[in-house]
Amino acid sequence: MHDHSAHETLALLETDATRGLTSDEAARRLHRHGANVLAPVAKQGPLVRFLLQFHHPLIYVLLVAAAVTFAVGETVDGSVIMVVVLANAAIGFVQERRAESALDALAQMITVETQVVRDGEQVAMAARELVPGDLVRLFPGDKVSADLRLIELAKLQIDESALTGESVPVSKAQGVLPEATGLGDRKNMAFSGTLVTAGEATGVVVATGEATELGLIHRMLGSTSDLTTPLTLQLNAFSRLLTVVILGLAGVTFGIGLLRGEPAAEMLVAAVALAVGAIPEGLPAAVTIALAIGVGRMARRSAIVRRLPAVETLGGTTVICTDKTGTLTQNAMTVQTVIVGGQRYEVDGGGYKPEGAIRIGDDEITPEDHPAFTTCLLAGTLCGDGDIRARDDGWEPIGDPMEAALVVSAAKAGMPRAQTLEAWPRTDVLAFDSERMYMATIHDGPDGRVVFVKGALERLLGMCDRQLAPVDSGAHDTAPADTSPHAPLDHETYQEAVAAFGRDGQRVLAFATRRLDADEPFDLEQPAGLAFIGLQALVDPPRPEAISAVAACRRAGVDVKMITGDHAATAAAIAARVGITDGGEPRVVTGAQLAETSDKDLIAVASSTNVFARVSAEQKVRIVEALQAHGEIVAMTGDGVNDAPALRKANIGVAMGQGGTEVAREAADIVLTNDNFASIEAAVEEGRHTFDNLKKFIVWTVPTNMAEGLLIVLAIAIGATLPILPVQILWINMTTAVLLGLPLAFERAEPGIMDRPPRPPSDAILTTDVVTRILLVSALLLGAAFWLFEREQARGSSIEESRTVAMNVFVAVQILYLLSCRSMVGRARDLGWFSNRWLVNCVALMIALQLILTYWPPMNDLFGTAPVEAEAWLRILAVAAGTWLVVEAEKALRRRRLRLGRS
């Protein structure tokens, strides 16, 4: 509609320029056009997602094994295998859906209100209810909720960076534009997702929801591709290798049996037993559940995980590229310093809460005793349109955040804006203009007419010929103009103060005033003869928790880099305050410098730079790519539409849940519900915690599977009876995986988890130490199970009794080995025997199930087991205890080696 006049647009949309739509007509249009929301990205249906749970090499082997067992008439074995496969699929499906539900719930929480003219009255309503033809009023600080054709405006400026990447607010204007005008040059339009920074306007809605320019980008981005993480790559490689080895061993076992003259049907059963034994059936479910538990822990720490593998990747993050505003800072402009007549005043408090003391040095003062100071605060609250309002969860700004901060500083001195405006009603105003660099207002005060001017120091100094001087305590003249004491205008002092504030990352506003006679004309376009009042310095203060979070990340070996569109000086100052620079001078690289840097040189620049300022969306992607080329695992934060490419390119994309756009959240792997950097640090800790617990499960479960498979191979090779049947192996693998393995996911994080460096991305799960442990336990299990099975046979026990003993050997060893696996290096008793209540309860339940399996006749018939004598239990417990002692001895040797390595 930018190529139509305002009158033509209103006519096409059949709406009234003053009364807007009627409620009935709006309801009809809402039904026709739908809610003003971005449609969720098309996702796979539940049936497809469920079928994808079977897309795994090891699951293929199990399905083939089930088919073979059914074919040879082993109905029970085949049924048990299918139950295991279906259980794995169900667990994965449910956990994926839970992650989606968490994000859907977050989207429901994020609502925006807008001012709409309906039935001739201005009302506030949810943005989702907007329809084409609605008249929308825009004020400073408003988020534009639909695409608008502007029909009336006054000094309107809009920040369109989230949509176009434009780094500064765009000044809007009326008029008709050519149809081919690009998005960034459509001055007569306001677009959904952008932010009003100054001025006011009325616009008519021309597009909502998916029909907006924001909706177009949303559709183009679509759903992000599945994340491939180091863990998933390693597990997939491990699964493929294991599949090849299992099929090879099964084929060799079947061939050996045939060569020995064994029946083919029996050898098929043996091959199935080998496959079932060697496959860690519980691994897919355990990985999914362990990651899901990590997701739950992260959600409680304000981080919603959209993709389960992202949990693990966080644990390996080596670099966090973070935005500044709202993530490291409070996103709440705050006046901290006021300078009047050379006197420096400090204002306590943060954010928009109107509470805080006023101090000179360490001494708290009474503002009323300092008229020039109160005049500066009075000018700040009167010469502006911002305000603040209370909410259930605190205070929020209305309009320009800097003007709201000026309102707060005045309120701290006992001058609430509402009462102050009532006492000093505004009679004229000249709105701020970026070229003019100042705003001016005229008020009828208690003592007559007064002019207040607010703007850039260099602009106001040229309008002033004197300055207010501070008044000693006890003075009572609070008039804000010529009746107050004056002094010669000290240009140099104020210019030096502004330069110092700039180096410290603070923004500065200057104020001036003049008293007018009752009928004296005054040209706000060319003010002169003013008295300079002073300066108010504002800063978006760092979040206190962000400072400690950055320090924790640095201790953990995770580098933190700031990437912001803000000015270099401001970015550097905040980086120093939060500790990104480690106490030294930050190295700052600007977008202009990046534009002149080649991709090859950028690898070194990105690695050595703390702060990137005034960067574009494309440059963010280049920085991420350069860090990845250096071998880093990169987590990237963002909130705008233009951040989406960088969020997708990073190993982990982290979007803001409160202030971010829907497109950014769709492109991210993790969404922060509180937009706080501390939540990123907490998520990294939880990622490491989750990976540790997952690694413990793998180290615990793989030896059992290896020993079970090798036990079948050994029996076939020497022509012995199978010590264990496929259905018995499945019982062991699934019951122990659920009741013994999964409690490892609830293990608390070990001490010092954030004091160690991140693991190198190239490190495999099966390191030399892990492989050594697995081979050691596998050999002990294989030897113990085969020896006790043969011993029972030699004593004249039935085959069912002997196999029952072999089964219980595996379970008993796994129980005691589980206690060792609670820490890869530490002693079992150091963790506390009963500190993991899940483990204690599950061990008790596992023991009860094994007794039922051994002594309950229906279970004997189903699984081919038989009751055993008490003496057999003593032998089982003896070999289990022996295995535990050997593993603890191996861990002691490893601890000694680590101590020697540090010394």
Which residues have a catalytic role annotated? 323
> How far is residue 788's CA from residue 785's CA, in Å, rounded to a whole number?
5
For the chain, the 3-state helix, strand and coil shares in percent, each to the nearest 5, are: 50, 20, 30
> How far is residue 205's CA from residue 201's CA, in Å, rounded to a whole number?
13
> How far is residue 278's CA from residue 774's CA, in Å, rounded to a whole number?
13
Nearest residue to 372 (alpha-carbon basis) of 337, 343, 334? 343
DSSP structure string for 254-266: HHHHHHTT--HHH
Contact 626, 619 (CB under 8 A): no
> How far is residue 301's CA from residue 314's CA, in Å, rounded to a whole number?
14
H helix or E strand, kind and range, residue 530: strand 530-539
What are the backbone dihedrals phi and psi of residue 275, each rounded to the nearest 5 degrees, phi first? -60, -45
Helices (H), 260-340: 264-278, 282-300, 309-315
Contact 209, 36 (CB under 8 A): yes
SS3 642: helix
> How far is residue 584's CA from residue 576's CA, in Å, rounded to a whole number?
8
Contact 666, 322 (CB under 8 A): no
Q: List CB contacts of 324: < 8 A, sequence separation 6 or more.
A: 562, 564, 566, 571, 574
Please name the amino acid found at residue 234.
Q
Q: Do β-strands 113-118 and 147-159 pair in parallel, antiparallel, or remain unpaired?
A: unpaired
> How far is residue 24's CA from residue 640's CA, in Å, rounded to a whole number?
35
What are the backbone dihedrals phi and psi of residue 536, each rounded to the nearest 5 degrees, phi first? -120, 125
What are the backbone dihedrals phi and psi of residue 649, each rounded to the nearest 5 degrees, phi first? -70, -35
> How far is residue 178's CA from residue 3's CA, in Å, rounded to a whole number?
5
> How far is residue 231's CA from residue 209's CA, in Å, rounded to a whole number?
38
Contact 638, 624 (CB under 8 A): no
Helices (H), 13-74: 23-33, 46-52, 57-71
> How far is residue 37's CA from residue 111's CA, in Å, rounded to a whole number?
10
Handedness of CA 873, 875, 876, 882 (dihedral sign): positive
Q: List CB contacts of 190: < 8 A, sequence separation 6 or more.
A: 138, 144, 147, 148, 150, 156, 158, 172, 196, 201, 203
Secondary structure tally for the chain: helices H, strands E: 30, 28
H helix or E strand, kind and range, residue 170: strand 170-171
